[in-house]
């Protein structure tokens, strides 16, 4: 080989070694560097005994081998019987022999169908570790949990864990189009290569299923809510089937979005009226056709009569008619309809924030058993901060599932580091008071508040075909955190950040402590430099990239930022109290009382619920104008802090990921200043006041910021 070739090969090898780190997400399985823990693991784990023979048990065994061999740095023996002690015995309940079963029989009472047990037992006086559950998928979850304990350097001595997911449907919503563009996607194109399917199974599909299983995700909606009926044609269903065959082994069910007008577009019918027998039959036949191919097909997600999508209202029917008609079609096969409550109309002069509740709440108790209503976390649209949606807890006879957005449509795309589990946790912990104190949103979505049979959490995916899946290395944490919270909505965002950092980067405390702090602060930081004090939806038109508080010329009034901030000479904010649109009345009275009064309303939501004067006194004694300007500045300063934190982390991180994050934080810093300057210059026209001391002078004029155009912003 010439020396040039050698250099080239070296570059190639080192490139792929680095690139793999990014690609491997939180399943790095780096060798344990903490000698004390390495010693413990090596003493406690001598062999693996795999008791299953299904494809899924083979996957579990392979994962365990991969993880243990890499982390322990030596090859762990795989045995067919449990000879000796300190084996990790893996197998579902039905594969355990009676002796083994006897030792853990009672533990099975503590788990549900998807739950797992990890336990130290003594068998014929020999210590063993058992990982089991009621089926192979549950065992796979247990294997990932066990590996996570090692990845995060937890002691495994005398383990006794019984853990079950608290929700039934833990699902990603891909807003992926058939041409592979991704609506609100910032990590490349869609993973689904429809042109090469069904014959070509991209390794990515397998890796996707694997990482999702590692966090307990059990469903995926492959297609955009702004649906294309073609996905329901045989040509595409064959491709969907191929994906379902891959995902099934990892416990992931496939779902599709159903375009309500499909009976017309691909069925040749004249109408899609849900009360028309031919239409109902068309859907029944379609369901039959799908289930013939995919016996465990999950069901449909539907966006109807929302933002121009067709729906039952086109025929004078309502959401109940539409949802129940589809529910009947999938019910014989155990399918579910996830019907979205994201509705608002340009013909409705009512406050947009009130419309979903006004329309859906009266439907309570009218949906069929296999319908679950999917509600966004807040009443507008995935803003950096929104008070919880008033529908949570307000439908006592209807299961409601959460829709979070993992992709950062309104939070700086895949360019800004924003750790979303903080946002998710804030919403899940919110008390709706709908069934008395303690009626948290988490209890609504896990079904425990009203004892629903169905429950679920959906997350709009931030995944694309970028090498690192999510565009920003730290956006991987949002996927991870979503999965962990879908499994257990009571988990703490700090604990999740800790797990993720250790599994993804390093267990070194000098790295973990500052970087975790940075992650946990990052959500408040984005609120500070974009939409402090309850401001919302002031992003630029269409693509939602960058500030656009001045936009007021869109055809639909409720798409204009000016509709939301209502800045004028007298002040700023949307009066949703009794003196305004009375949106506060949609909450339980205890919550209503708090939100309705500007003095008791949490300051973080002030301008969401109240229009207050520029001189309004904030809790810290500042006037609203000064306080707001200082918040914008604080946001910018905090991003600068993040840069410092990251720069200090250099020695704990591989070069490639270090540099990526460093560059992205550089952009975030620039853009935080852009947000600050553009918003303050614009609002200053109304406040007529000087910037307070401590706020940097804007770098450009308002006219300059208004002139910026982004015709090719991604995801639009």
Interface residues toward ligand BDP, by CB under 6 A:
183-184, 225-226, 303, 307, 342, 381-382, 409
Q: Among residues 593, 543, 537, which one has the least CA distance to residue 566?
A: 537
Indicate the residue among 93 and 303 with the shorter CB distance to ligand BDP. Answer: 303
Question: Cβ(435)–Cβ(502) under 8 Å?
Answer: no
**Beta partners for residue 220, in sequence order:** 172, 254
Residue position matching structure tokens 């796979």: 140
Indicate the residue among 226 and 590 with the shorter CB distance to ligand BDP. Answer: 226
Q: Among residues 303, 191, 177, which one has the least CA distance to residue 247?
A: 191
Which run of H or of E encompasses 256?
Answer: strand 253-257
Indicate the residue among 339 and 669 with the shorter CB distance to ligand BDP. Answer: 339
Residue position matching structure tokens 């979205």: 340
Question: What's 650's DSSP letter?
Answer: G
The catalytically annotated residue of 22, 107, 403, 409 is: 409
Our answer to whether residue 183 is catalytic in this structure is no
Indicate the residue among 119 and 319 with the shorter CB distance to ligand BDP. Answer: 319
Position of minimal CB gap to ligand BDP: 381
Residue position matching structure tokens 């959906």: 458
Least spacing, CB of residue 652 vs ligand BDP, in Å: 36
Question: Cβ(209)–Cβ(222) under 8 Å?
Answer: no
Least spacing, CB of residue 618 vs ligand BDP, in Å: 30
3-state secondary structure of 216: coil
Least spacing, CB of residue 603 vs ligand BDP, in Å: 26
Indicate the residue among 142 and 378 with the shorter CB distance to ligand BDP. Answer: 378
Our answer to whether residue 429 is catalytic in this structure is no
Residue position matching structure tokens 């055809």: 555
Indicate the residue among 226 and 233 with the shorter CB distance to ligand BDP. Answer: 226
Indicate the residue among 303 and 389 with the shorter CB distance to ligand BDP. Answer: 303
Torsional sign, CA 57, 58, 61, 63: negative
Least spacing, CB of residue 543 vs ligand BDP, in Å: 9
Residue position matching structure tokens 């995919």: 294
Indicate the residue among 462 and 584 with the shorter CB distance to ligand BDP. Answer: 462
Q: What is the DSSP string of 457-515?
A: EEEE----SSTTSSSSGGGHHHHHHHHHHHH-TT--HHHHHHHHHHHHT---HHHHHHH
Cα–Cα dist 469/184, whole Å: 15
Our answer to whether residue 660 is catalytic in this structure is no
Angle between helices 509-530 and 655-687 (to 10 degrees): 30
Question: Cβ(161)–Cβ(145) under 8 Å?
Answer: yes
Residues listed for the chain: 716
Least spacing, CB of residue 394 vs ligand BDP, in Å: 20
Least spacing, CB of residue 537 vs ligand BDP, in Å: 10
Cα–Cα dist 624/612, whole Å: 8
Indicate the residue among 162 and 401 with the shorter CB distance to ligand BDP. Answer: 401
The catalytically annotated residue of 307, 321, 429, 603 is: 307
Least spacing, CB of residue 709 vs ligand BDP, in Å: 19
Least spacing, CB of residue 344 vs ligand BDP, in Å: 10
Cα–Cα dist 202/261, whole Å: 32
Question: Cβ(108)–Cβ(101) under 8 Å?
Answer: no
3-state secondary structure of 616: coil
Q: What is the DSSP string of 285-349?
A: HHHHHHHHH-TT--EEEE--SSTT---GGGGT--HHHHHHHHHHHHGGGT-EEEEE-----TT--
Q: Where are the beta strands (DSSP E) in 65-154?
A: 77-79, 87-90, 116-123, 126-133
Indicate the residue among 161 and 375 with the shorter CB distance to ligand BDP. Answer: 375
Least spacing, CB of residue 557 vs ligand BDP, in Å: 16
Can you read off the two tokens belonging to residue 585?
């009345």
Longest dimension (CA), the chain: 82
Which run of H or of E encompasses 67?
Answer: helix 55-72
The catalytically annotated residue of 22, 351, 359, 381 is: 381
Least spacing, CB of residue 531 vs ligand BDP, in Å: 15
Q: Which residues are marked as active site?
A: 307, 381, 409
């Amino acid at each position: 080989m010439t020396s040039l070739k050698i250099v080239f090969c070296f570059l190639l090898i080192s490139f792929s070694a680095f690139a793999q780190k990014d690609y491997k997400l939180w399943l790095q399985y780096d060798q344990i560097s903490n000698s004390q823990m390495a010693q413990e693991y090596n003493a406690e784990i001598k062999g693996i005994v795999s008791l299953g023979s299904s494809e899924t048990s083979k996957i579990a065994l392979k994962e365990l081998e991969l993880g243990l061999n890499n982390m322990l740095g030596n090859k762990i023996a795989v045995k067919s019987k449990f000879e000796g002690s300190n084996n990790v015995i893996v197998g579902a309940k039905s594969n355990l022999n009676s002796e083994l079963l006897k030792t853990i029989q009672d533990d099975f009472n503590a788990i549900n169908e998807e739950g797992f047990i990890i336990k130290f037992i003594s068998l014929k006086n020999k210590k063993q570790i058992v990982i089991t559950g009621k089926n192979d998928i549950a065992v796979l979850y247990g294997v990932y949990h066990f590996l996570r304990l090692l990845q995060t350097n937890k002691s495994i001595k005398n383990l006794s864990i019984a853990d079950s997911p608290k929700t039934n449907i833990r699902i990603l919503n891909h807003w992926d189009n058939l041409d592979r563009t991704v609506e609100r996607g910032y990590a490349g194109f869609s993973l689904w290569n429809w042109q090469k399917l069904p014959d070509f199974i991209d390794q990515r599909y397998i890796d996707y299923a694997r990482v999702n299983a590692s966090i307990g995700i059990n469903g995926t909606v492959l297609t955009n809510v702004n649906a294309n009926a073609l996905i329901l044609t045989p040509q595409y269903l064959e491709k969907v089937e191929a994906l379902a065959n891959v995902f099934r082994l990892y416990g992931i069910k496939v779902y599709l979005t159903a375009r309500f007008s499909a009976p017309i577009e691909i069925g040749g019918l004249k109408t899609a009226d849900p009360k028309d027998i031919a239409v109902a039959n068309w859907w029944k036949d379609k369901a039959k056709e799908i289930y013939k191919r995919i016996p465990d097909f999950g069901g449909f997600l539907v966006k109807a009569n929302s933002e121009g999508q067709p729906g039952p209202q086109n025929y004078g029917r309502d959401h109940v008619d539409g949802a129940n008609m589809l529910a009947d079609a999938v019910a014989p096969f155990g399918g579910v309809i996830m019907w979205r409550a994201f509705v608002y109309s340009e013909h409705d002069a009512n406050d947009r924030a009130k419309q979903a509740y006004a329309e859906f709440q009266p439907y309570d108790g009218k949906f069929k058993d296999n319908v679950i209503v999917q509600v966004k976390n807040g009443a507008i649209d995935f803003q950096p901060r929104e008070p919880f949606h008033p529908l949570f807890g307000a439908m006592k006879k209807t299961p409601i599932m959460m829709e979070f957005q993992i992709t950062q449509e309104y939070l700086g795309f895949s360019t800004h580091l924003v750790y979303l589990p903080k946002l998710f946790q804030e919403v899940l912990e919110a008390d709706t008071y709908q069934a008395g104190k303690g009626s948290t949103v988490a209890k609504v979505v896990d079904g425990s508040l009203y004892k629903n049979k169905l429950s679920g959490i959906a997350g709009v995916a931030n995944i694309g075909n970028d090498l690192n899946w999510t565009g920003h290395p730290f956006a991987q944490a949002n996927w991870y955190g979503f999965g962990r919270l879908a499994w257990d909505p009571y988990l703490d965002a700090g604990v999740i950040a800790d797990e993720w950092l250790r599994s993804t980067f390093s267990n070194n405390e000098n790295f973990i402590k500052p970087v975790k702090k940075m992650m946990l602060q990052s959500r408040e930081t984005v609120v500070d430099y974009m939409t402090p004090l309850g401001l919302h939806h002031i992003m630029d038109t269409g693509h939602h990239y960058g500030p656009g508080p001045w936009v007021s010329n869109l055809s639909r009034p409720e798409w204009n930022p000016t509709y939301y901030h209502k800045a004028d000479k007298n002040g700023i904010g949307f009066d949703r109290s009794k003196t305004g649109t009375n949106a506060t009345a949609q909450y339980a009275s205890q919550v209503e009382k708090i939100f309705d009064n500007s003095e008791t309303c949490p300051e973080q939501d002030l301008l969401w619920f109240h229009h207050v004067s520029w001189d309004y006194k904030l809790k810290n004694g500042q006037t609203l104008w000064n306080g707001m300007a200082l918040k914008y500045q604080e946001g910018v300063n905090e991003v600068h802090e993040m840069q410092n934190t990251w720069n200090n982390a250099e020695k704990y991180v591989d070069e490639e990921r270090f540099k990526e994050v460093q560059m992205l934080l550089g952009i975030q810093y620039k853009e935080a200043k852009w947000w600050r300057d553009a918003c303050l210059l614009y609002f200053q026209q109304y406040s007529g006041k000087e910037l307070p001391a401590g706020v940097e002078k804007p770098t450009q004029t308002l006219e300059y910021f208004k002139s910026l155009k982004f015709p090719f912003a991604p995801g639009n």
